[in-house]
């Protein structure tokens, strides 16, 4: 019998942190992927972050947890997690992109352009907007991305 997630990651004692990583790990396994130590390091980095991180940042932080983590593994793991709806690609500062945990199915984000904090939000009425756009344009909308960029309350307070 394999080792439990807690045995592999003794620092995940906090219940919510453990649940987040366990949920992501379970989704990987259900999709037929193995939960390797490098993938687990990526999951842990994503769990600990409140904002978005570039693949390079995930790589650097992940190497602190698993020194032989490879950058290619980070990209492949992020791709898997994105396909499974566990992370979302976020368009960050400049032309850079990063990844944030997907805590809901909405895919709608508030992004602080100063500190990088990301928060998901529900968007009532999006279906009606999409239907209207499809009628007017003739397009079939298959997916959408909504990001609102501004300053989080902490950065607003720091600027006062």
How many angstroms separate the CA atoms of 73 and 23, rounded? Answer: 20
**Sequential pLDDT tens for the chain (160 residues):** 455 554 555 554 466 667 778 888 888 899 999 999 999 999 999 988 877 888 999 999 999 999 999 999 999 999 999 888 888 888 766 656 788 887 655 667 788 888 878 887 777 788 898 999 999 999 999 877 788 888 989 999 987 6
Neighbours of 12 (CB within 10 A): 21
Tokens 């602190």 correspond to: 64
How many angstroms separate the CA atoms of 143 and 67, rounded? Answer: 37
pTM: 0.69
Structure tokens at 86: 């566990």
């Amino acid at each position: 019998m394999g080792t439990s997630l807690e045995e592999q990651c003794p620092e995940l004692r906090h219940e919510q942190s453990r649940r987040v990583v366990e949920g992501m790990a379970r989704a990987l396994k259900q999709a037929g992927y193995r939960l390797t130590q490098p993938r687990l390091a990526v999951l842990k980095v994503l769990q600990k972050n409140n904002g978005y991180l570039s693949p390079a940042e995930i790589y650097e932080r992940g190497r602190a947890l698993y020194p032989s983590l490879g950058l290619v593994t980070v990209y492949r793991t992020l791709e898997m997690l994105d396909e499974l709806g566990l992370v979302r690609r976020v368009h960050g500062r400049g032309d850079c992109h990063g990844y944030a945990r997907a805590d809901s199915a909405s895919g709608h984000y508030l992004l602080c352009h100063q500190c990088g904090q990301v928060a998901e939000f529900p968007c009532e009425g999006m279906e009606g907007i999409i239907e209207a756009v499809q009628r007017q344009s003739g397009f079939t909308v298959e997916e959408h991305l909504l990001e609102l960029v501004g300053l989080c309350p902490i950065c607003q307070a720091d600027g006062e």
